[in-house]
Amino acid sequence: MIKKPALYVRTSTDKQQKGLESQILALKQYCTQKGIEDYLIFKDFGVSGAKSARPGLDALLFSVKRKEVSEVIVYSFSRFARSTSHLLKALDDFKSYNVGFISISENIDTSTPMGQAMFTIISAIAQLERELIAERVKTGLKNAVSKGKRLGRKKSRNSKLIQELASQGLSYRRIADLADCSISTVHRELKGVLK
């Protein structure tokens, strides 16, 4: 089977027909300049880029996995993915299937040394972003604990009532009925007390 380049276009709303047409025109002109005559076109019309599951994108990824695609060509990163993590996951998948990725607006082609370098830089920035977010969350949690704030969900069971009913020798089921909670809640409350 001969692999073909795949063109992917997307608009966020169904009122952007001209936006879809202009992307297709730009990608076709790119193909003409590069001597590419035979290609597949995948479209998502009126679909948010924040959604990782899109009919056109899903069909494109299926074709990539079936080894029908040689490279994916998009007008810009934003037409393909709205988040760095989504873009990186797709680029990793493409790499594993030996499929190139070209964004004509950003002038990036992952099959070239410069494109590979850009991919590495984007990956490093995304990793740094994830680590900084994790660090901020940890710092925020430590700060909250140091100020005496309780973390997690507020306990909603009536511990005093459950323990009082248990001391009367009632079954877990009867305690759960009277305390208006589940049997597992009764068990969780009493497992520490009954040791």
Cβ atoms of 50 and 83 closer than 8 Å = yes
Q: How many CA atoms lie within 13 A of 93 on its CB side?
A: 17
Of the residues 12, 22, 52, 78, which is catalytic? Answer: 12
Predicted confidence (pLDDT) per residue in 17-68, tens digit = 677 899 999 999 999 999 999 999 999 888 776 666 788 989 999 999 999 9
CB crowding 7-19: b at 16 or more within 10 Å, else e: bbbbbbeeeeeeb
- Residue 25: the pLDDT is 94
Mean pLDDT value across residues 96-108: 89
- Residue 195: the pLDDT is 42
Q: Which residues contact 179 (CB under 8 A, 6 or more apart)?
A: 157, 158, 161, 162, 165, 185, 186
Tokens of 137: 């969350």
Query: What is the chain's alpha carbon radius of gyration, rounded to the nearest angstrom?
Result: 27
Record the pTM. 0.62
Look-up: residue for tokens 């790499």?
95
For the question of residue 123 being annotated catalytic, the response is no
Tokens of 73: 């060509």
Predicted confidence (pLDDT) per residue in 142-176, tens digit = 888 888 887 776 677 888 899 899 999 899 999 99
- Residue 46: the pLDDT is 80
Q: How remote is the C-alpha of 171 from its chain's centroid?
A: 46
